[in-house]
Structure 1
Amino acid sequence: MSPYSFTTPRTAHFYSLGEPGPAIAHLWVCLHGHDQAVADLAAQLVNLDTPERLLVLPEALSRRADPATSDRPTDALGVWFAPHSVDADLADLTTYLDGLTDHIRARCPAGTPVTVLGYGHGAAAAVGWLAENHLVFERLILYAAVFPPEIDRRTLFAALPQRPIVVVSTTTAFTPEVEGAELVRELLDAGQTARLSYADAGLLTLAALGAGGEARSSRLH
């Protein structure tokens, strides 16, 4: 049996906290973790849900029903990377996220700053996407980041545009705090500007995500 590949359009799902419009001063694109429901990530981000901030939560192209809550579409479990398919998955998610952010930004004020947050495997998805350098973004946040072993993350770090990067660690999530420190070191070695922050389990805040200054800047719009 010989394996082949074929590229075809897909129907993607995404959710949002807030609606695009003239009042939006900040756009966040938030990528969920491995086998995580978008609703689970959204529940952690409710502190960031304000009238001037739009949070867009794309669902990974690969998804399955959660047997415990199969009647709720927002509880589908999404997966960014399939085994032995990382390169193709990176290409697919880049096309998907480029198209989605272009669609959303067209409905927000011109020049609205964009923050990208990646959680768990969503951090690897964010880095792989932004390394393609299509989206002009203001800040990248890697929360409890997990990179599949097939990904050469050092190469992707070097390909990222020069933007501030915040690595957020927590002892109750996927990776221990020491892994956050190692990730920062690799980013610095790649010539990036990166720093480490810490977050408790539960609801996330701008301060824990290293974006405390955004609250002040939003009042200027």
Structure 2
Amino acid sequence: MTEHHLTVARTARYYQLGELSASTRRVWFVCHGYGQLAAYFSRHFGFLNDADPRTVVITPEGLSRFYLSGNGGRVGASWMTRDDRQHEIHDHVNFLNQLAEKVLVECLPDVEVTVLGFSQGTATVGRWLTQAWFRPAHLILWAGGFPEDLAPEIARELLEGLRLSVVVGTEDEYIDAGKLEAQLQQLRQLGAMPTVTTFAGKHELNRAVLAQLAAQ
């Protein structure tokens, strides 16, 4: 038995908060974590557009969906698993690059782009941005780390001089102080100068911190 692969067209889903136009000043691309859906994840960012209609939030959804428990009920999405990993990475990078092109062509060239990854989404945005055709003004890694399997020279090209924020809850059940420090050390070795923000909370988003990051 031999394994083969066939490239096919498929339909990807994303959500948009706000209207894109020449007056758009800021675009946020936000990537959810494992087992989440973009429709629900995007709701955490609605206040950004409410506060300033010139801010548009784009929430892509992982290409793989599954039932969170058993054979029915709630559905979640994933960006990738360890199975057929490289092809899944290629597919989601291709999706995100096509999405960014579709979105940013409707804005002026000087639009400010923020990219946020949450949990599993941090590895997703890290891999994406090393192959993206644009450079963001701000990268936010929230409750997750930068991918460790990227070639150092490729990662360094992205991270050196990039405004980078690392955010984690003080009670995050997946990231303790030791793991956070290891992540920060990795980033610094790759030439990054991350700003660290903590908040009283678990493996979750925090509106006050989001507002703080958006205002900076």
- The interval holding the TM-score normalised by the smaller chain is 0.7 to 0.9
Equivalent residue number for residue 72 of structure 1? none
Equivalent residue number for residue 21 of structure 1? 21
Equivalent residue number for residue 158 of structure 2? 160
Equivalent residue number for residue 136 of structure 1? 135
Contact 1:31–1:59 (Cα < 8 Å) also in 2: yes
**Which residues of structure 1 form unaligned runs of 5+?**
70-75, 214-221
CA distance change for structure 1 residues 110 and 121 in 2, over 3 Å: closer, same or farther? same
Aligned equivalents of 1:119, 1:4: Cα separation in 2: 32
Aligned equivalents of 1:209, 1:36: Cα separation in 2: 24
Aligned equivalents of 2:172, 2:193: Cα separation in 1: 26
State the one-letter code of the partner of 1:21.
S
The one of 37, 57, 68 equivalent to 2:73 is 68
Aligned equivalents of 1:185, 1:15: Cα separation in 2: 34
Query: In terms of mean alpha carbon deviation, does 52-61 or 165-174 score higher?
Result: 165-174
Equivalent residue number for residue 208 of structure 2? 205
- 2:115 counterpart SS class: strand
Matching of residue 114 in structure 1 with residue 113 in structure 2: yes
TM-score (norm 1): 0.81
Contact 1:28–1:56 (Cα < 8 Å) also in 2: yes
State the one-letter code of the partner of 2:208.
T
Contact 2:48–2:211 (Cα < 8 Å) also in 1: no
Aligned equivalents of 2:190, 2:207: Cα separation in 1: 28
**Which residues of structure 2 form unaligned runs of 5+?**
none
Aligned equivalents of 1:47, 1:198: Cα separation in 2: 21
Equivalent residue number for residue 5 of structure 2? 5
Aligned equivalents of 1:168, 1:96: Cα separation in 2: 26
Aligned equivalents of 1:132, 1:109: Cα separation in 2: 22
Aligned equivalents of 2:194, 2:2: Cα separation in 1: 43
- 1:134 counterpart SS class: coil
Give 1:65 deviation, angstroms. Answer: 5.1
Identity of aligned residues (%): 24
Matching of residue 86 in structure 1 with residue 91 in structure 2: no
State the one-letter code of the partner of 2:156.
A
Aligned equivalents of 1:205, 1:177: Cα separation in 2: 22
Matching of residue 30 in structure 1 with residue 33 in structure 2: no
Query: Considering only aligned residues, what root-mean-square deviation do their CA atoms show, in Å?
Result: 2.4
Aligned equivalents of 2:151, 2:178: Cα separation in 1: 18
Per-residue CA distance 1:23-70 (angstroms, 9 max, x = gap): 32100000000111213322322332331211100011111356435x
- 2:208 counterpart SS class: coil
Aligned residue-pair number: 205
Aligned equivalents of 2:200, 2:19: Cα separation in 1: 28
Aligned equivalents of 1:134, 1:161: Cα separation in 2: 15
TM-score (norm 2): 0.83
State the one-letter code of the partner of 2:111.
T
Give 1:185 deviation, angstroms. Answer: 1.4
Aligned equivalents of 1:180, 1:209: Cα separation in 2: 21
CA distance change for structure 1 residues 179 and 56 in 2, over 3 Å: closer, same or farther? same
CA distance change for structure 1 residues 35 and 198 in 2, over 3 Å: closer, same or farther? same
Aligned equivalents of 2:109, 2:17: Cα separation in 1: 20
